[in-house]
Chain A
């Protein structure tokens, strides 16, 4: 039996266990950086396989090594995220969240259980590969500063225990816009950087009938919202996707009272770290100058979020070929566009070669079509076996070719 068929056979063999892990995790979701029970569950599973996990990395993170022959020669990292979202689940399923108000609405239960399945298979196949796999189970993908950035600070991308530093890293993400059975890849930039912008406009409040005695914060805030659009249309090179949105304005005066302060909140997303920094400077300069030019002032706080996610081009193109070998050519899609969402796997992608691919979980016939971060999100569980087998196979191929 060749290695590919062996992987498929083992993926099928473990599929019931993986499914049961997934359902346990789904029923017991925990919020970002509070994944204590989840981490314990993962560590126990890894131990039961015979592995020796390193626990409590960045609080609730875990790594585990699976050593093949010549384990010190090279390392490939495989990553899953473990946290859930503050959403009340509306699905009526046997594995519905038992932690009211918290829900795995972004598929991290799938990522984690799938990586546990991959661990089982790779552990069975130790004699068939050279090098080491480093499994990374990270906390807090959904919450700034991102569990990934903390795991990197804790040196998960460095050499340790005489093993080589990982040269490449894989992660998958469930995709409710792709049919179950299919997967999607996009070499190069794929997800945006994301920064939150908080502006507080300060003027002099007062009676609406005496404009000469007030500095009108509402008008200044409006001017700022309007004029900041030129950051996107006039400052950033047109070939770099960028978006600046303000979703919240709080101006709590009344028909005849101008408030002393107006707050604006928004998000800035783009795909270039240099222009991201310049845009931040331009936003601050333009907003300040607009406010000061109108006699007021403003405070601007930019909460720096995740960088853009860059899929290493050669690595990702190779991986598409691995995937085609495993699933068949017709099952592997090239994602046509970048996505303006953001993901903390991006941090890894700025350190080593990274490949972030999407696992189809949609099934229209079964009415499984709801979007991520919605209370009705669910997956076609047929995706789990595919996710387990594919990551195993691609890891084996990549380790071989390094």
Chain B
């Protein structure tokens, strides 16, 4: 195995320039979730140019491609990238700035996709060096419910295909502007939260603020509901289970002396256990509806179920971490904290052994420090060669292990 490392590094270096070109092309031509037509076409053409045969139009704009080594039927490992961009107007002044005004790769999916293209090219030149099959997944719509991952799974990407068996494990990476370029982060077990959006509409009876006996006050009732629902976290949830319930928006459009008919509240619920998550949904709904009813009103308690929590398979993640230490040097591999944001890679992690790791992209000296989902997000592009090489190396290790 060790003997393959120089080869991977050599190929990563050799194709670094092309990966950079791919990244910049994709960055300059971003497309919104589930509208990644040109991106998918670009990816397909690149894969074909490497001599590969992509399967297109999976979940509409998704693609998969197999890279078969020796004994391709023995084992499959999946590698995943996401392709969609965000509805943000780019504020960076760079040659590869978005040419699609109002849309921007502000979450690094351009990096994930170009990096996986690099990995495809490296591995397609090493097919006589490994046994088994690599299945590359380029998915649409990570940023939008129901999540491209869930649709790709529905279309069978985690199942056996032709003579290649179903993937036993899947690896994905994500840019991390809080980690310096050249470093990689791992976390075993629970990593990212499930995220559900909560929309509550409290319906009372509006009227004059001076006549409380004639109205049913949705302003007061919604306040009671928001206060009471906090006990879902403090009194119903196992204290060892990270959970958060936040309301960020309240719309009560009356006036000092006019009580409105309706108050709308919007929030988010995040946690790390699917059974508790389902139970919490039931309890929140019951509590909200019960309080509204007890106070003479009704409430529509609408939960938009989002992504599940993302769990990194402990043994797989340990193996990947050790392999990364070999490739990067021990000092460049760090532990990650829980991250309460959500990511649709979580769907894969509910189905097969999964490892989602972080690629450092920060460079304070170059002023590259902005967070993902901001109009000034960018990466230190040195991360591209590392990303493509490392994922190749991890895939080879996992096929062997």
Contacts and interface: CB of A to CB of B under 8 A. Distances in A.
Contact of B227 (A194, A214, A219): A219
Contacts of B256: 196-198, 247-248, 265-267
B262 to A, nearest CB: 12
B287 interface: no
Interface stretch (B39-47, B50-58, B205-213, B350-358): B205-213
Interface string B162-182: 000000000000000000000
A267 B219 CA distance: 13
Contact of A209 (B219, B220, B254, B268): B268
Interface in B45-77: none
A229 B220 CA distance: 9
Nearest to A373: B208
Nearest to B220: A225
Interface string A277-313: 0000000000000000000000000000000000000
Contact of A249 (B210, B250, B258): B250
Nearest to B198: A255
Contacts of B217: 245
Interface stretch (B81-89, B240-248, B276-284): B240-248
A210 interface: yes
Contacts of A266: 209, 256
Given A245-B259, A256-B246, A258-B248, A209 B223 contact: no
Interface in B326-368: 340-341
Residue of A214, A253, A256, A267 with highest tally of chain B CB at under 10 A: A256
Contacts of B252: 246-250
A194 B256 CA distance: 10
B249 A251 contact: yes
A253 B291 CA distance: 24
Given A209-B270, A267-B210, A267-B257, A249 B248 contact: no
A254 B209 contact: no
Contacts of B259: 245, 247
Contacts of A229: 220
B210 A221 contact: no
Contact of A225 (B223, B246, B247, B249): B223
B224 interface: yes
B185 to A, nearest CB: 18
A219 B255 contact: no
Contact of A255 (B248, B253, B255): B248
Interface in A234-264: 243, 245-259, 262
A267 B256 CA distance: 5
A251 B248 contact: yes
Given A209-B340, A210-B340, A247 B257 contact: yes
A269 interface: yes
B190 interface: no
Contacts of B227: 219, 222-223, 226
A218 interface: yes
Contact of B246 (A249, A258, A269): A258
B308 to A, nearest CB: 15
A163 B219 CA distance: 53
Contacts of A368: none
A253 B210 contact: no
B245 to A, nearest CB: 9
B197 interface: yes
B341 A209 contact: yes
A255 B249 contact: yes
B296 interface: no
Interface string A338-349: 001110000000
A223 B247 CA distance: 13
Given A266-B256, A267-B209, A341-B210, A226 B250 contact: no
Contacts of A223: 223, 227
Nearest to A197: B256
Contact of A219 (B222, B230, B249): B230
Contacts of B209: 243, 245-247, 266-267, 269
B220 A246 contact: yes
Contact of A245 (B193, B210, B249): B210
A77 to B, nearest CB: 28
Nearest to A219: B226
Given A196-B256, A267-B256, A257 B248 contact: yes
Contacts of B268: 208-209, 255-256
Given A223-B227, A247-B256, A218 B248 contact: yes
A247 B247 contact: no
A245 B257 contact: yes
Contacts of A207: 340-341
A216 B230 CA distance: 12
A103 interface: no
A247 B252 CA distance: 7
A382 interface: no
A255 B195 CA distance: 10
Contacts of A196: 256-257
A259 B219 contact: no
Nearest to B210: A340
A194 B209 CA distance: 11
25 contacts: A208-B268, A209-B246, A214-B246, A216-B246, A218-B247, A219-B230, A223-B227, A243-B209, A245-B219, A246-B219, A246-B220, A247-B219, A247-B254, A247-B260, A248-B253, A249-B251, A249-B263, A251-B250, A252-B249, A254-B249, A256-B246, A256-B248, A259-B249, A265-B256, A340-B208
Interface of B: 193, 195, 197-199, 208-212, 217, 219-220, 222-224, 226-227, 230, 244, 246-260, 263, 266-268, 270, 340-341
Given A254-B248, A266-B256, 16 more contacts: A196-B257, A197-B256, A208-B244, A208-B267, A209-B195, A209-B244, A209-B246, A214-B246, A219-B230, A243-B212, A248-B253, A249-B250, A250-B252, A256-B246, A267-B257, A341-B208
